[in-house]
Amino acid sequence: MSSTRRDLLVRASATGILLACEAPSSGSKDTAPGDTGLDDTGGPDTGGALDSGDSADTAENPDTGDIGACESWGEPDSACEPTPPVGEGPYFREDAPERQQLNVRGESGYQIRLELRLLDESCVPVEGAVVHIWHCDQTGIYAMDDAEFHARGKATTGADGGTCFETLRPPPYTDGADGFNPAHYHISWFVDGVQTYTSQLYFEGDPWLTEVHSQELVTTPEDDGSGSRGTIRFTFVLGSLPPPEEV
Ligand SMILES: [Fe+2]
């Protein structure tokens, strides 16, 4: 990724809901997703197996994991509605490393700059919160026992409640029956060391989204014009909501 392309990053607002993760059985390598309804960049349409990606259009500075400074957030809105939670699912690993470059294997795929912020119910930025992100690889598999913790990481929010990550858009993966879970990121927020809130983010146009997935969690990455890289900018708001359902 050239600095020029990086500089072209644009942001996207997003709103959306939930779904929990019913991923493939165990993260074994023989559960490729097959026809997901998405093309090999994660865009809708062509179907077919997703690129497993050995070569890579990796994010910049893969050796150091340096993704550059997160874009700052302005003043939060005066009214904040709690963001819908989603169940954690079976693939969380609490010992994931603190880092912001999650594509540690250098997989090929649609690159995403994930700019996240956490506010409390009064719209006050939550500084010092730790957010974990995890998602499946480009074959629809979660890394459950690799030492590198591919597609996993955590970061701490700054004074504006924000932090950011570089990773890929994940593909849908089998639901273990006849369909697929829509593509999603898992996100879990820890405040004062306590796992406080967990949810997911989805992608507009995903053919596997249904009524059980909250529209408030559906995002539209803003492409930088290359067709291969975009930014999601999303604010989570803590609130008193019922426990999430596992779906
Ligand atoms: Fe999942």
Q: What is the pLDDT of residues 76-118, one digit of tens each?
A: 777 889 999 999 999 999 999 999 999 999 999 999 999 999 9
Residue with tokens 């026809």: 35
Give the confidence band of 57 by pLDDT, cuts at 50, 70, 90: very low
90 C-alpha to center of ligand 1: Å?
A: 8
17 C-alpha to center of ligand 1: Å?
A: 14
* More confidently predicted of 245 and 173: 173
Q: What local confidence, expressed as pLDDT, does residue 58 receive?
A: 41
Tokens representing 224 are 């930088």
Q: Strands of the chain (E only): list them.
A: 14-16, 111-119, 130-134, 152-156, 162-168, 173-174, 180-181, 185-191, 194-203, 216-219, 222-223, 229-237
What are the φ and ψ backbone dihedral angles of 57, each rounded to 5 degrees? -100, 75
Percent share of the chain, pLDDT over 70? 71
Residue with tokens 């400074």: 69
CA distance 44 to 66: 30
25 C-alpha to center of ligand 1: Å?
A: 11
3-state DSSP percent of the chain in helix, strand and coil, to 5: 0, 30, 70
CA distance 124 to 237: 9
Give the confidence band of 74 by pLDDT, cuts at 50, 70, 90: confident
* More confidently predicted of 114 and 35: 114
103 C-alpha to center of ligand 1: Å?
A: 16
Distances (CA, A) of 74 to 39, 166, 226: 35, 21, 27
Segment 165-189 shows an average pLDDT of 97
77 C-alpha to center of ligand 1: Å?
A: 30
SS3 sequence, 200-241? EEEECCCCCCCCCCCCEEEECCEECCCCCEEEEEEEEECCCC
Per-residue pLDDT at 33 exceeds 70: no
Residues 6+ away with beta carbon under 8 Å from 179: 208
89 C-alpha to center of ligand 1: Å?
A: 7
Average pLDDT, whole number, for the chain?
79
- Name which of 171, 133, 132, 152 is nearest 53 in CA terms: 171
Per-residue pLDDT at 126 exceeds 70: yes
CB 193 within 8 A of CB 214: no
What are the φ and ψ backbone dihedral angles of 151, each rounded to 5 degrees? 60, 35
Segment 124-133 shows an average pLDDT of 97
Q: Which CATH class is domain 1-247?
A: mainly beta
7 C-alpha to center of ligand 1: Å?
A: 31
CA distance 207 to 172: 9
Tokens representing 160 are 């504006």
CA distance 100 to 165: 4
* More confidently predicted of 230 and 32: 230
Q: Provide the whole-model pTM.
A: 0.77
Segment 124-147 shows an average pLDDT of 97
Give the confidence band of 246 by pLDDT, cuts at 50, 70, 90: low
247 C-alpha to center of ligand 1: Å?
A: 10
Segment 204-216 shows an average pLDDT of 97
Per-residue pLDDT at 159 exceeds 90: yes
Q: What local confidence, expressed as pLDDT, does residue 100 receive?
A: 97
26 C-alpha to center of ligand 1: Å?
A: 12
